[in-house]
């Protein structure tokens, strides 16, 4: 691996999806469009593995940093770099996107070119979001991720797609607006620079910390989503095509958690401490609430969405207990959660019948049990990972304080997972599973 290539690895990774879009724009054949999309996502995945290999784990701070003046008047630059947190999330992004292309290979038959371009666009934008070292760049690409998602929902979505798309985009936009406010506030307070590394080293007055933290928190809480701001997710999730759901659950939600880790904690430590009890309560409430919501769903994708809300609660919980294990657990949880719903959708695609590819009613599952689904539960180590992070996180939670809800918290964890399992693997629904009825004859 020569030095020049290594130096520009991140830019190459960012460029590949956009290059893919350019090629797709020129290709006519649908099959070739899919192949080009797959090729560019796979290329990114391979490069991210190279990144992982070249990454020096013994070093602290940013690596693979590239800087280029962009708008010198406002001190805006194109600056990217990765540290441990970014690396994992970039890996998650690049490894999931080939899956997205693959699972829409046959499912998407109309406007293939635009769909593949959307996937590539969102991939490129997400890589930039996770690697950006410049707030302006971060914000711009944060906004860009929204556009392809919106089109994916309203063009290839389910029957309620327009409403869901509008809800998604309005909600996200209001979050972005608050984010913009926060970024401008930070720009003014932090000495008129957008450089994240410089901004992170400044100290801010308590007042500024309070308000800017609040704005950041609101923006990220909408993205994550945390409890009162979650209603866009089930709609968007259930209406989006499968690839969209995978991207949404797998990576887009992680942008919120990434934001907490990258901005809120290092830049506003005092405000974080001030807000921590409130956020922890909200997280606990969200975990419980999401679990209960998931129990009540009959639409599988909504179930996944609510369980995502529940699981992302663990992320905020881990981040705001303010210790090493908690934060590591939160990062681990983000990656695990990114893999879990995403990979469970994979076999689901095979089972989806009916006119609308994105919608999968559980009653359908009952009539046509999915033979391949059990494999998704065995072939990837979710119980292993899940237990690990659960143990890590809650061990911190135990330390955090003598919290009244911890018992309940533990009790709610298995519920929705279980129902998920039951509904997918065996397809029983809406009937009590507890009292065993008379066994019906075995169908030969």
Partner 1 sequence: MTFLILIPLLPLIAALILLLGKPWLGEQGHKIGIPAIAISFAFSTIAFVRVASDGAFSISLYRLIQSGDLVVDLGLYVDQLTVLLLLLVSGVSSVVHIYASRYMIGDPKYNRFFAVMALFTFSMIMLVMSNNLLMMYMFWEIMGICSYLLISHWGERKSSAQAATKAFLVNSVADVGLGFGVILTYSTFGTFDIQSILAQAQSMPESTINLFGWLGLDIRIDVLTLITLFLFMGAMGKSAQVPLHVWLPFAMEAPTPVSALIHAATMVNAGPFLLVRMSPLVILSPKAMTVIALIGGMTALFATLVSLTQVDIKRMLAFSTIGQIGFMVMTCGVGAFVVSIFHMLAHGCLKGFLFLSTGNALRSVGSHGYEPSFVSKPGVTVPSMWPLVSGTVLLACLPPVLLFSGPYEQLWMAQSMASALWTFRILAFLTVFLTAVYVFRGVQMLFHSQASSVHGAGMVTDATHPRLFSSRHFLGALLVIGAMGSLLLVLWSWFAEFLSPVVGHRLTLKPIEWSFAMNPHLVIALLLAIGGVGVGYLSLDIFSRSRFRQSSWGKRWYVHFLNKLYFDELYEAYVVQPTLGFAHWLWRVVDREVFDALILGVANGSVVTAKWLWRVVDLRGIDGLVVGLGRNSVGMAGWLWRVVDLRGVDRVVVGIGKQSIGIANWLWKSIDIKILDKQVSRIGDQAEATGDMMRELEPRTLQHHLLVMIFWLIIGMLALFWFVL
Rounded to the nearest 5°, which phi and psi values hold at 111? Answer: 50, 50
DSSP letter for each residue of 131-181 = HB-BHHHHHHHHHHHHHHHHHHHHHH--TTHHHHHHHHHHHHHHHHHHHHH
| Per-position x/- string for 304-343, each x denoting binding to partner 1 as judged by CB under 8 A, each - no binding | -------------------xxx--x---------------
Binding residues for partner 1, total number by CB under 8 A: 65
Q: Which range in 140-148, 258-266, 267-275, 370-378 contacts partner 1 by CB under 8 A?
A: 370-378
Q: Which range in 120-128, 270-278, 351-359, 412-420 contacts partner 1 by CB under 8 A?
A: 412-420
Nearest to 335 by CA among 45, 54, 90: 90
List the Cα angle 215/77/254 in 5-degree steps. 45
Nearer to partner 1, 230 or 359 (CB): 230
Contact call for residue 57 and partner 1 (CB under 8 A): no
**Do the beta carbons of residue 317 and residue 280 sit within 8 Å?**
yes
The DSSP call for residue 309 is H
CB of 57 to partner 1, least distance (A): 11
Task: Tell which positions 337-366 bind partner 1, by CB under 8 A.
Answer: none
Nearer to partner 1, 203 or 363 (CB): 363
Q: Which of 139, 150, 171, 187 binds partner 1 (CB under 8 A)?
A: 171
Contact call for residue 74 and partner 1 (CB under 8 A): no
Cα(377)–Cα(379) distance, integer angstroms: 6
Q: Which range in 37-45, 86-94, 119-127, 417-425 contacts partner 1 by CB under 8 A?
A: 417-425
Contact call for residue 387 and partner 1 (CB under 8 A): yes
Scanning 55-111, the segments in alpha helix (DSSP H) are 84-103
CA 368 to chain CA mean position, Å = 30
Q: Which residue has the tokens 């095509």?
A: 241
Cα(193)–Cα(285) distance, integer angstroms: 37
Q: Which of 55, 105, 292, 322 binds partner 1 (CB under 8 A)?
A: 292
Nearer to partner 1, 34 or 302 (CB): 302
Q: Which range in 2-10, 88-96, 103-111, 422-430 contacts partner 1 by CB under 8 A?
A: 422-430
**Do the beta carbons of residue 56 and residue 50 sit within 8 Å?**
no
Contact call for residue 105 and partner 1 (CB under 8 A): no
CB of 93 to partner 1, least distance (A): 24
Long-range contacts of 164-173 (CB under 8 A, 24+ apart): 164/235, 164/236, 164/238, 164/239, 164/240, 165/236, 165/239, 167/231, 167/232, 167/235, 167/236, 168/232, 168/235, 168/236, 171/222, 171/229, 171/232, 172/146, 172/222, 172/223, 172/232, 173/146
Query: Strand, helix or coil at 426?
Result: helix
Contact call for residue 403 and partner 1 (CB under 8 A): yes
Task: Tell which positions 209-248 bind partner 1, by CB under 8 A.
Answer: 228, 230-232
354: region left, alpha or beta (phi > 0 left; psi from -120 to 50 alpha)? left
Nearer to partner 1, 123 or 417 (CB): 417
Cα(260)–Cα(266) distance, integer angstroms: 9
Query: Strand, helix or coil at 275?
Result: helix
Q: Which of 61, 72, 354, 443 binds partner 1 (CB under 8 A)?
A: 443
Nearer to partner 1, 185 or 369 (CB): 369
CB of 79 to partner 1, least distance (A): 29
CB of 99 to partner 1, least distance (A): 18
Q: Which range in 107-115, 132-140, 336-344, 418-426 contacts partner 1 by CB under 8 A?
A: 418-426
Contact call for residue 55 and partner 1 (CB under 8 A): no
Q: Which of 168, 220, 394, 400 binds partner 1 (CB under 8 A)?
A: 394
Rounded to the nearest 5°, which phi and psi values hold at 249? Answer: -70, -35
CB of 115 to partner 1, least distance (A): 28
Contact call for residue 296 and partner 1 (CB under 8 A): yes
Interface residues toward partner 1, by CB under 8 A? 167, 170-171, 228, 230-232, 289, 292-293, 295-297, 323-325, 328, 369, 371, 374-375, 377-379, 383-384, 386-388, 390-392, 394-395, 398-399, 401-404, 410-411, 413-415, 417-418, 421-422, 425-428, 431-440, 442-443
């Amino acid at each position: 691996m020569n030095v020049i290539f290594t130096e520009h690895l991140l830019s190459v990774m960012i460029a590949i999806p956009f290059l893919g879009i350019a090629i797709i724009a020129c290709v006519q054949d649908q099959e070739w469009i899919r192949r080009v999309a797959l090729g560019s996502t796979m290329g990114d995945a391979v490069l991210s593995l190279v990144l992982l290999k070249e990454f020096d784990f013994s070093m602290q701070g940013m690596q693979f940093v590239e800087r280029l003046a962009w708008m010198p008047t406002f001190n805006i630059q194109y600056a990217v770099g990765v540290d441990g947190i970014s690396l994992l999330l970039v890996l998650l992004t690049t490894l999931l996107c080939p899956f997205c292309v693959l699972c829409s290979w046959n499912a998407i038959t109309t406007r293939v070119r635009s769909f593949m371009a959307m996937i590539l666009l969102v991939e490129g934008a997400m890589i930039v979001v996770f690697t950006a070292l410049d707030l302006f760049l971060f914000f711009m690409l944060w906004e860009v991720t929204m556009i392809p998602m919106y089109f994916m929902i309203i063009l290839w979505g389910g029957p309620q797609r327009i409403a869901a798309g509008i809800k998604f985009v309005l909600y996200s936009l209001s979050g972005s607006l608050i984010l913009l406010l926060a970024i401008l506030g930070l720009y003014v307070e932090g000495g008129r620079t957008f450089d994240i590394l410089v901004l992170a080293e400044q100290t801010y007055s308590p007042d500024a910390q309070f308000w800017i933290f609040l704005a950041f928190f609101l923006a990220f809480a909408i993205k994550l989503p945390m409890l009162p701001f979650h209603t866009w997710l089930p709609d968007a999730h259930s209406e989006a095509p499968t690839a969209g759901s995978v991207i949404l659950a797998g990576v887009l939600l992680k942008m919120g958690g990434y934001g907490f880790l990258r901005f809120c904690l290092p830049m506003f430590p005092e405000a974080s401490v001030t807000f921590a009890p409130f956020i922890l309560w909200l997280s606990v409430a969200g975990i419980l609430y999401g679990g209960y919501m998931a129990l009540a769903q009959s639409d599988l994708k909504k179930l996944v969405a609510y369980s995502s809300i529940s699981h992302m609660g663990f992320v905020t919980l881990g981040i705001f207990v303010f210790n090493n294990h908690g934060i590591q657990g939160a990062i681990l949880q983000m990656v695990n959660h990114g893999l879990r719903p995403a990979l469970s959708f994979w076999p689901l695609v095979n089972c989806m019948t009916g006119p609308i590819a994105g919608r999968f009613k559980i009653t359908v599952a009952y009539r046509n049990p999915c033979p391949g689904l059990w494999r998704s539960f065995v072939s990837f180590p979710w119980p292993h990972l899940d237990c690990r992070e659960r143990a890590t996180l809650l061990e911190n939670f135990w330390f955090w304080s003598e919290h009244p809800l911890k018992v309940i918290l533990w009790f709610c964890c298995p519920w929705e997972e279980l129902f998920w399992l039951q509904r997918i693997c065996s397809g029983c629904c809406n009937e009590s599973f507890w009292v065993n009825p008379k066994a019906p004859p075995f169908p030969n």
